[in-house]
Structure 1
Amino acid sequence: MTRYISIVILGALSYGMLASFAKIAYGQGYTAGEITFVQALIGAVILWSIVFFRSIKNRSFKLAGNWKLLLAGTSMGISAYTYYLLVAYIPASLAIVLLMQMTWMSMLAEWIFFKKKPTNFELLASVLIIIGTVLAGNLLNVKDFNFSVFGIMLSLTSALLYTLYVLFTSRLGNDVPMFEKSALMTTGSALMILLINLKSITTSTHLDLGLLKWGTFLAVFGTVIPPICFTTGMPKIGTGLSSILLTLELPAAIFCAYIILNEQISFFQIIGIGLMLGAIIWLNIVKTKREKQITIH
């Protein structure tokens, strides 16, 4: 059990560190479109290589009828692109805080698309997350409010797109092996990013070894390791505990922004982060208990 918990934690920590390193890449002249495209492309190549060698070993390879996963991957691509784009406008620590709004957005999406009305408890947890966001993002301190409103709107858009990606992932291709599923969705992601940035990528003067270095690094820690960790560990430890462990992405991102980018964190921001994490963990614990009671009955 401990082994699989560690594997899921590794996946969450890998995701959390991405924004800080993307911001460093910006400082070297690379753009969000270039970085996300090369990351998705290299990630797809790595995943398809794994699929290919596994298919030779197992002598089985089926992809027919899974074109929907390619389309679902486009939401992942747009979300990743907007997420990397927004860290050029706002601090990386605030970017991950706003991305965590996917917790209450997923409830809203389930209500709209699947008629699953949130309970009073879920609504209370959502309010606590929003209050925590205001504190964690230092949004009450008007004097120090020197970041872009456009960046904040962009981050909320990224959170919404990430919510759609999670919904698609959980409901599509559950009969497809994990590497094939990840490879298909990553391919869809790369194609969408290329489509959005076709002109800038085809005329780019930054397609060099430096971009390959950043693309490979971000692909390994953002496209390959997390899906493998999650698909390996989550089935063993359960959805509830997995959801709790995924919240480690938030402190990991803020810690990296503090250490790597020297972004300052105030006491009230720490309180806000703690409130967000507490609300998310509380929400998942209650949901897990409720699901167990339903299963028993």
Structure 2
Amino acid sequence: MMITGCFIGLTSIFYYGAMQYLPASLAIILMFQFVWIGILLEWIFSKIKPAPVTVLSIVLILIGVFFASNILNGSIQGLPFKGFLFGILSAFTYAGFIFFSGKVAINVDPWTRTSLMATGSTILVLALFMRDIPSVLPLETNLLTTAVGVSLFGAVLPPLFFAVGAPQVSGGIANILTSIELPVAILSASLILSETITPIQWLGTAIILAAIALNELGSTFFRVRKHING
């Protein structure tokens, strides 16, 4: 469970690294590639071959990314490659977290699981950034307030709520609910960070969300239909 938590620590490192070089709206879109990466992990490690509807969903996700990244307006030209690399790495580590969190100690109490995952994540982050800690000491009030907010809403509450809520619904519904993070993050980037979100980007976001819903609900629909016809 602590090793699984390390994936969340890596996701935070890569995602915040991406935001140093990219707009927040683009960074979250790159991280959201965890959807098709997770499908790929299931295929490789669990030998679950993606259904035709899943392949269609992946294609739609890639089309959505094309529009959401605002390539048509040339807005990504000149942005550092390092930012895109960090963004994609955050997608891989987040996909790893979701994949392994569904396989490891699933019957353990959610509070215990979350605590151990957060501990593993903390140990990893401290090990990687230990020598940088003296440079931020003593902690200023603004930095401390930001750190508490980011850690609470970014590393503590999400895994806890996910651990508590995911077993209460089907896996497909859980993934669809998780996908709501995308429009919320982009809307927050627009309202809080004053980033300009074009209609084309909103179209791309809508396509990504529709693709996720199609993959989860479509697969269930075809399984039920096959069972009825059988």
Instruction: Answer whether TM exceeds 0.5 for this pair.
Output: yes
Residue 154 (structure 2) pairs with residue 201 (structure 1): no
- Secondary structure of 1:232's counterpart equals helix
Instruction: Return the alpha-carbon distance in structure 2 between the equivalents of residues 157 and 186 of structure 1.
Output: 20
Distance 1:203 1:262, change over 3 A: closer
Structure 2-normalised TM-score? Answer: 0.91
User: What runs of 5+ residues in structure 2 fail to find an aligned partner?
Assistant: none
User: What runs of 5+ residues in structure 1 fail to find an aligned partner?
Assistant: 1-68
Mapping of residues 208-287 of structure 1, within 5 Å: 208-287=140-219
Instruction: Return the alpha-carbon distance in structure 1 between the equivalents of residues 226 and 142 of structure 2.
Output: 53
Matched residue, 2:22: 90
Matched residue, 1:34: none
Residue type at the aligned position of 2:27: A
Q: In percent, how many aligned pairs have the same letter?
A: 33
Residue type at the aligned position of 1:234: A
Indicate conservation of the 8 Å contact 2:51/2:219, yes or no: no
- Secondary structure of 2:72's counterpart equals coil
Residue type at the aligned position of 2:147: G
Matched residue, 1:161: 93
**Deviation by residue 1:123-149 (Cα, 9 ceiling, x = unmatched):** 111011011001101123336624222
Aligned positions, number: 229
Deviation at 1:205, TM superposition (A): 3.8
- Secondary structure of 2:21's counterpart equals coil
- Secondary structure of 2:150's counterpart equals helix
**Deviation by residue 1:48-78 (Cα, 9 ceiling, x = unmatched):** xxxxxxxxxxxxxxxxxxxxx1122112111
Mapping of residues 179-194 of structure 1, within 5 Å: 179-194=111-126
> Pairwise CA RMSD of aligned residues?
2.1
Residue 52 (structure 2) pairs with residue 120 (structure 1): yes
Instruction: Return the alpha-carbon distance in structure 1 between the equivalents of residues 5 and 152 of structure 2.
Output: 17
Instruction: Return the alpha-carbon distance in structure 2 between the equivalents of residues 292 and 242 of structure 1.
Output: 19
Q: Bigger CA drift: 253-262 or 204-213?
A: 204-213
Deviation at 1:197, TM superposition (A): 1.1
Q: Bigger CA drift: 198-207 or 110-119?
A: 198-207
Residue type at the aligned position of 1:71: I
Residue 26 (structure 2) pairs with residue 74 (structure 1): no
Deviation at 1:295, TM superposition (A): 8.5
